[in-house]
Amino acid sequence: MKTFLKTGVYLCLVCPHFFAVSNPITSIDPQELERLFQPIHQSVRDKAYRENNYSIKRATYFSKRHRIVEADLDLLAEKSGPFLLNPFEDVELVVEADNIRDQHSGTTRVWVGKKLSGRIDTEDSRLSKELKKQLNSVNLYIHAESVENRAGDFSRPAISSDLSKPSISTVIYLTGQVSHLNSQYQILPVDGSFKKYLIIELDREKSLISGSSEKAQRRRDAHMAFEKILLRDEKDRKAKHDNIKEDSQ
């Protein structure tokens, strides 16, 4: 199965605790705003874990916690108003579009939002104007990709000039990494359906770091050991599945 959950080295920008965090909005009731991420039924989550166990475990190695959700991409439209960016139920930021631009020949749209709550507002000389703007911004990436529909899949509108060949349709999906205080949240599609998203709160104690220090080597060794065990378990799972399939024929 093709996986869309990639692991790697993450560069985290740490916001020191002594910078003041403010919530300047007074005319907006956050409880009345729509949420970007929506919960899904337990049975749907269970199915996603079963079908993408290997890739989900690889991605969540670097996490403190994670969850699988759906996303309301209509909230990222150009004229959309403020909404709640809610990577987890206890983390909700009021944001609104500040700038939207296309890149990669229009196949990716960069949605730049500004935080209306949880902002860093201070005149500390150690915090430049550019850094403050970065800390108070959110970058999300909206991708458009052509995919081949599976046989009998009519969930996506598509047109094919030759009915004997698979139809091609365009899917829209979201990726990104959100910073809030000392935490980083990563957003990834769970699989090729692009309908469900894995949200990860990254754990800095597990992130891979460069260099030859004992700490860096220890983290790389731990990750390599995890990958070996995970790959072995995945091979065993596939072998059992193939054996059951052969016995049933």
Structure tokens at 172: 């829209």
pTM for the full predicted model = 0.78
Average pLDDT, the chain: 83
**pLDDT score, position 187:** 97
Among the ranges given (28-32, 58-62, 67-71, 172-176), the one the predictor scored with the smallest mean pLDDT:
28-32
pLDDT band at 31 (very low <50, low <70, confident <90, very high): confident
Between residues 153 and 230, the one the model is more confident about? 230
Cα-trace Rg, the chain: 21
What integer is the mean pLDDT of 229-238?
Answer: 92
Q: Could you state, in order of their start, the residue ranges of all structural domains in the chain?
A: 21-207, 210-249
